[in-house]
Every structure is written in structure tokens, then in C-alpha cells.
A and B are shown apart, each in its own frame.
Chain A
């Protein structure tokens, strides 16, 4: 019972985020006349298909034009192109929601499908792989390093890490990735410069796995390198504040072993704010991964953004990507929020 309310509030915020983003997508599409253009393109495509079918039966070109014109009118009414965009808003929202965004202009999925849904969804696991791996590594380094630094407050290492954390905020992740490519891949030829597998990819599962690891190494290192400084620093500060509290002194006075004090009396109490801190870091690493994927040609959704923006832009793909990114972000956030509520007993008892 007591667990239910905080969970509800947190989930509702995230659902709010989701709907606000959806609303913004739909409003921007509508207000700028973008959805009109997408619909017109869909209708045009359908008409072209029908023209070839009709050509079998109708020979007279004038007759054909008349039939097609009538058909266009029907289609425009069917898709709602004749009504102002705000009447279509719910339908556009539904289209975005169900990822029914038609076909991509030039991008194809790995097995050749041109449906936006296929193209975008097959990339989700690739992105998740990169994002979660680096997120978990950053979290682990942060927790171990942070709780260690808390015992070395004021040491040169402590000062170095705090300086490093500040500098990290001033460094674009993706540029570090480019530097890695320039030095490690191009000059020294140690690691591959991009992609997920070598060409041709190994077929045996084990070599294939190692191939993937060697390709993932640079992007993951890049993502971790710029985020672990701030992560260690914030966890150190949180732990330090708790280590100075009375209950820790009492635990030590009782003669409990230092290890137990650190784990049960400091880290356990520091866990909830640490999770919150990591949550905020997640938003940053999501953005970071879009650009890092682009740099390393990692076949995830971030790279797809870049490909969809290049040359003749693929509008449908961009709309779908923005939507899926939000969806993914909201989903991860909800999972972590639930975790938070379970971790922090105080949330359960205050309400």
C-alpha cells in the first residue's frame, strides 16, 4: 500500500513526459505543415500504384485522369488531408504511437525492408547494447571509486578526480571518439575504426562475439571515459556526507568491522541518492550515445539519425526515431524509479 503511491507518482511523471513529447511531435508536425506533406506523399505513392493497375483496363488517357482525380479526392478525404491539421491530430498521434509511419525513402533495414517500423526496431537492441554496457561500467566504476575516494578526502587523487570531473563536462564525448579513431585506428591500427562486425563477419558464435567486442571496445571506452569522472565525484560527495553522520560514528564506536560499516551503514544509506544521480547521468549518456554511435558507425538508432539526416532526409524515420528514443528513455527511467522506491525505505514510510 505504502509502496503504491510513490510508484504511481513517479510513473505518472514519466508517462507525462511521454505524452508531452508525443504532443510536441504531433504539434510540430501539424503546425509546420509537415504531416500534410507526408500524407500527400503517401497518397501520391498509392495513386502511382493504382495507375499501373488501372492501365490494364482503362485505355483512354482522359478517362484515366478523371478516374485518378476522383480517386485522389477519395484518398484525401480518407486520410483527412481536406480537413485542417488539428482535426487530424488524434489520428497523427495514433500513427506515431503505433509507428505506422509508412515507408522510408532510401534507408533499408538489414534484410531489405523499407518499412520504417522494421528499420527502427531492428536497431534498438544494438543501441541498448552500447548504452547499457557503458552505463553499467560507469556505475560500477563510480560506486567503487566514489566510495574509495570518500575515505581519501583531500588527497591528491581526490583533487585530481574532482578536477577531472569538472573537465569532463567541457569535453564533447563524440570528439573523444574521433580522437580515438584517429590515433588508435588510423595511426596505430590497433582497433577497428567503426561498424559492429568485420566484413565479412565471422560465422562461428565465439569468433563473432569477440569480433563484436573488439568493435564495441572503442565506443564503450569513449562513453565511459567522459562519464566516469562526474559519476565517481558525485558518489564520493554523497558517501562523504553520509559517512559524517552520527549513526556511522555509533557503528564504528560499537566496534563493527570497517567493511561492514562501509557496506551496511554508509553505502546502503547512500544507495537511493546514488541511484538518482545515475538516473540523471542516463539522460546524458543517451544523448552521448547518439553521437558516439554516429562517430563509430555503430548500427544503432543514433547512427540511423545521422544516416536519415544525410543527403535527402528520411522524414518518417526521424519522427519514428525521436519517438522510440523517448519511449526507450521513459521505459528505462520507470524501471529505475521502481528500483529506487524499493531501495529507499524512507519513500515507503513517509506517505
Chain B
């Protein structure tokens, strides 16, 4: 059968078509990830907590809001580099940033955090003030910070918060708590002590008292404004970056895990990794299985017996316990996982190929070729291999899901390569930290679905290819 017509047969079958389209989708996603994500994504981002510090922890995806009666607050990040307005005051230039925030949720934000970076000053340190303007016209200063002054022996210009930006969690910041305390006393005549406010400033800042009890606050919806002001002392002083985070209770397309990691990014990165594991392991074990199978069947004699005994034994080894053991001893690395999967993955194919070759050896064409003086190698590679190639190809495709599932299982046991995030590892994190018992389905279901989808792609491809490989299964034309 020509290649074009083989492809036609493949595409005409339901599973074949499904498999091909899914595979195309996966390849497109994988290429996108390879282009957009850094190759060391695992080390530089995924397992680096600083990257995720401003994300809400363990919250569901944003789209779940449309399924809820009461929408949860979305996650809002405001960032500014160039100041929105510059004024001259007596003390020096005042740079300010104004971030408008329309708040519509019936829940208060989960946290408030502010980050300052790249502060530069010539002599005297600038002062940073953050105020919140509420829809009811009330305004209060929630944060005040004087940048650290010159150290002894240090000479200007001074740079601060360059390498490690200053990050303050306002919800627990002592000064903010006092500011809120004063605000409540002045505006609502409520006298609460610090312990009643600490950690919950968000509900007071974004709410009005309901009057039911001292601490009962209902969220106040409307247009807020966050005003960040930097009182600088000299012309040329600057605050390079300000960032204000209004923590939501939903995040992104796939939600976050308990470290605040964006699960959508982890899941995306898993695509090329899974494809890589599946394809490489299947390719290598098929190559070994096929060549040993041909050698065993065609050469016969002692080689045959040796190969058969070895593959009998390896085929009967309980693989998972040994995989766990060896990975544990050697240390988790993706290459080691692939290597071990290949070592145990070839014998099934060897046994099948051998019996096919034995069958073929009695065939008259082969006898004729041999009597014409073809070398053994020529017979094996030029005459036997082409005949079994379609079958081997189908087995190659069926081999990929097994490898993907094995890697996922090993990762789930905590033996995954820590430098490369995979779907199994995301599931493992969700399981180990108790995510399932807290009902964090967005952390548990999508990675599993990804594994199933990828494995299914190869299964469907294999099922679609079978009729191409095995003409007896091909449907007769109507």
C-alpha cells in the first residue's frame, strides 16, 4: 500500500481520525510551549516559590465564577513603572501612581500585598505612601514606608530593592492593622483591638459594618482607587516599580495549587514532556525488541535460545517494584526513568517478532534469496525487516501510552524528576499535601485528564493504524 492511501485508510477510520487530530493538537501545544517557555522552566520557575508569591493559594479557575451563584473575587495585579503623575512639593518631587479598581464581588479580597523594586536615590531616602480611596468617599492611608537610608561607609547614589524587591503582606502588616484600627474608630466608631483586625484587614478595608455585631462587615462594591505616592528628595531619585496585588479567590484558566503556582502553566509544560517520554521510550524499546526478535528468529541456534531465555525472564519481572527500587537508589531523573522503562519494555515485542520471523523463514521467497547468496545481514535488513515494519510501527504507537502512564505512576509515588514538572508530579503534590481531601478538584482532575488524553491519542492512533497494518481487518469498500 502506498503511503498516501495508507494515510487515507487511517483517516477514514473513526479512531484513526480522532487519534491524528488529537496528536496534531498535542504537537501544536508542545511546539508552543517549547517556543514560549524557558527550557529550564522546572527549576527557574515551577519550583521557585518567589515566582508565585503574589498568586492566591489553592484557588479554583476564574471560569468557575460563572457556575456559582455568588461570584468569588477575581485576582487583580496592578503594576506601574513610569509614574502616572509627577508633582513638585516642598520636600522634592512626588511621583504617584493611581490604580482604579472596580470591586463587584460579594466577598472581600483574600489578601493585599505591595511590592517595591529598583529604588534609586542620591542622598536622602524616599518615602512611600499607599492610600485606598473607597466608593463611599472615605480615604485612608494603609501603608507607609521609608526606604532604608545609607549604611555606614556606603556612598551614593544608593540603590535599594534591586535584587530582592521589598514585598509586604498588608493583611498582617502591623502598621496597616493600626491604620485600619484608627480608620474604624474614626469613621464607624468601632473600637476593635489588633487581634480582631490582624490577618483580616481586607474585609474591613473593602467593607461596611452591617451592624449585626462589631466584626460583621459586608463587602462594599463600587469603584476604588489605590494611590501609591513616592515622596522623593531630589530630582533623579526614582522608584523603579510598584506592584499592588488584590488577592482573589479565583485565578487564571486552571486555578492554583497550595503554593500559588499557576496550574495552567504546569499543565502546558507537561505536554511536550509527556510526548517526549512516550515517544523516546517507545522508539528505543521497539528498536531493541525488533532487532533482538529478528536476530532470534532468523539466526536460530544458541543466539535464539539465549535471547528467548532472557526475554522470558525480563518479560516476567514485576516491573513497578523494580522501577521504584532502581529510581530510588540511582536518584530521580527523567533519563533514568526512560532508561529503565526501555530496559524492561522490549521482551514482549521480541517474542512476537521472533514467531513472525520463524513463520517467514519457511517462505519460499526468502529461501530463494538465500540460495542466491544474500548475506544474513542483507536478508535480515532488506527482506525481513520491511515485511514486519508495519506491525512494528503499530507496536511502537501502542508502546507510548504505557511509558507515559508508568512515568505518571512513578511521579505520583514521589520519584519524578524534580527539575522537570510533569502531570504525575502535579497530582503527587495535590495528593501529598492533602488537596484531594479538601476537595481541590481543579488540582486533581485536569492533570489526570491530560494523562488520559495523551495516552488515548496514541491508543486511538494505534487502533486506527491496525487496519492499515493488517489488511484482513480492512473494511471492504461498499
- Spell out A's residues near B (CB within 8 Å): 13-14, 16-17, 20-21, 24-25, 28-29, 32, 34, 166-167, 169-172, 174-175, 178-179, 181-182, 186-187, 193, 283, 286-287, 290-291, 294-295, 305-306, 309-310, 313, 315, 318-319, 321-322, 325-326, 329, 333
Q: Which of B401, B408, B459 has the most CB of A within 10 A?
A: B459
- Of the residues A34, A187, A326, contact of B329 by C-beta under 8 Å: A34
Whether A309 pairs with B409 at a CB distance below 8 angstroms is: no
Q: Is the CB of A283 within 8 A of B318?
A: yes
**Residue contact A322 to B324, C-beta cutoff 8 Å:** yes
Closest 10 CB pairs of A and B: A170-B455, A287-B320, A175-B448, A325-B321, A322-B325, A170-B456, A329-B318, A322-B321, A17-B316, A170-B459
CA distance A211 to B322 in the complex (A): 33
Q: Assess whether A294 is in contact with B444, with CB atoms less than 8 Å apart.
A: no
Q: Which of B439, B445, B459 contacts A167 (CB 8 A)?
A: B459
A32-B330, A170-B455, A178-B448 known; A321 and B321 CB under 8 Å?
yes
Q: Which residues of A contact B328 (CB under 8 A)?
A: 309, 313, 315, 318
- What residues of chain B lie closer than 8 Å to A290, measured between beta carbons? 320-321, 324, 413
Contacts of B438 in A (CB 8 A): 186
Determine how close the nearest CB of chain B comes to the CB of A105; give it in whole angstroms. 14
Q: Is the CB of A325 within 8 A of B459?
A: no
20 example contacts (A-B, Cβ-Cβ < 8 A) are as follows A16-B309, A17-B316, A167-B459, A169-B401, A170-B405, A178-B436, A178-B444, A178-B448, A181-B437, A186-B439, A193-B437, A283-B319, A287-B321, A290-B413, A291-B409, A294-B413, A305-B321, A309-B328, A313-B328, A322-B324
Would you call B432 and A310 a contact (CB within 8 A)?
A: yes
Q: Are A305 and B436 closer than 8 Å at their CB atoms? A: no
Write the B310-345 contact mask toward A (1 if CB under 8 angstroms, else 0): 001110111111101110111000000000000000
Q: Which of A169, A178, A287 contacts B409 (CB 8 A)?
A: A287
- A326 & B431 in contact (Cβ 8 Å cutoff): no
Are A286 and B436 in contact, with the CB atoms below 8 A? Answer: no
Task: Establish whether residues B316 and A306, one from each chain, have CB atoms under 8 Å apart when the complex forms.
Answer: no
Having A172-B452, A318-B324, one finds 9 other A-B pairs with CB under 8 Å, namely A21-B317, A28-B325, A28-B326, A28-B329, A169-B401, A193-B437, A309-B415, A322-B322, A322-B325
Tell whether, in the assembled complex, residue A286 and residue B432 are in contact, meaning their CB atoms are under 8 Å apart.
no
Does the CB pair A167–B456 fall under 8 Å? Answer: yes
CA distance A13 to B462 in the complex (A): 32
Q: How far is the CB of B425 from chain A (nearest CB, A)?
A: 13
Task: List residues of chain A with CB within 8 A of the CB of B436.
Answer: 178, 181-182, 186, 193
A178 vs B319: C-alpha distance when bound (angstroms): 23
Contact A172 B437 (CB under 8 A): no
Q: Which residues of A contact B414 (CB under 8 A)?
A: 306, 309-310
How many chain B residues touch A (CB < 8 A): the figure is 46
Task: Return A135 CB to nearest CB of chain B, in Å.
Answer: 14
B119 close to chain A: CB less than 8 A: no
Cβ < 8 Å to A, chain B residues 424-464: 427, 431-432, 436-439, 441, 444-445, 448, 451-452, 455-456, 458-460, 463
Q: Are A175 and B427 in contact (CB under 8 A)?
A: yes
B346 CB–A CB distance under 8 Å: no
Contact B431 A178 (CB under 8 A): yes
* B204 surroundings in chain A (CB, below 8 A): none
Residue B412, interface by CB 8 Å: yes
Give CA–CA (A342, B62) in the complex, Å: 62
Q: Is the CB of A305 within 8 A of B316?
A: no
Q: In the complex, what residues of A have CB within 8 A of residue B412's CB?
A: 172, 174, 291, 294
When distances are taken between beta carbons in the complex, the residues of chain A under 8 Å from B452 are 170-172, 175
CA distance A187 to B441 in the complex (A): 10
Contacts of A171 in B (CB 8 A): 452, 455
Alpha-carbon distance A333/B317, docked complex (angstroms): 11
**Identity of the chain B residue whose Cβ is nearest the Cβ of A333 in the assembled complex:** B316
Quote the shortest CB–CB distance from B308 to chain A (angstroms).
10
Known contacts A13-B312, A16-B309, A306-B414; is-contact A172 B448 (Cβ 8 Å): yes
Residues of B within 8 A of A319 (CB): 325
Which chain A residues border B313 with CB–CB below 8 Å? Answer: 13, 16-17, 20
Q: How far is the CB of A195 from chain B (nearest CB, A)?
A: 12
- Contacting pair A306 B413 (CB below 8 A): yes
Is A318 a contact partner of B312 (Cβ separation < 8 A)? Answer: no
Docked complex: B381-414 residues within 8 A CB-CB of A: 401-402, 405, 408-409, 412-414
Determine the chain A residues whose CB is within 8 A of the CB of B456 once the complex forms. Answer: 167, 170
Chain B residues lying within 8 Å of A178, measured Cβ to Cβ, are 427, 431, 436, 444, 448
Chain A, Cβ-Cβ closest to B462: A166
Inter-chain contacts of A24 with B (CB < 8 A): 322, 326
Contacts A20-B317, A28-B325, A187-B439 known; A309 to B413 CB distance under 8 Å? yes
Residues of chain A within 8 A (CB-CB) of B324 are: 290, 305, 309, 318, 322
Question: B325 — which chain A residues lie within 8 A by C-beta?
Answer: 25, 28, 318-319, 322
For the complex, give the distance between the alpha carbons of A25 and B318 in Å. 13
The answer for the CA separation of A187 and B439 in the assembled complex, in Å, is 7
Could you tell me the distance between the alpha carbons of A193 and B438 in the complex, rounded to whole angstroms?
12
Contact check, B439 vs A175: say whether CB atoms are below 8 A apart. no
The CA of A333 and the CA of B319, in the complex, are separated in Å by 14
Whether A182 contacts B401 by the Cβ 8 Å rule is no
Q: Whole-angstrom distance from the CB of B402 to the nearest CB of chain A?
A: 8
How many Å from the CB of A318 to the closest CB on chain B? Answer: 5
A174 CB contacts on chain B under 8 angstroms: 409, 412
Minimum CB distance partner of A34 in chain B: B329
Shortest B16–chain A CB gap in Å is: 13
- Contact A182:B444 (CB < 8 A) given known A13-B312, A286-B318, A291-B412: yes
- Kindly list chain B residues whose C-beta atoms are within 8 Å of the C-beta of A329: 318
CA distance A167 to B402 in the complex (A): 12
Residues of the A chain whose Cβ atoms lie less than 8 Å from the Cβ of B463: 166
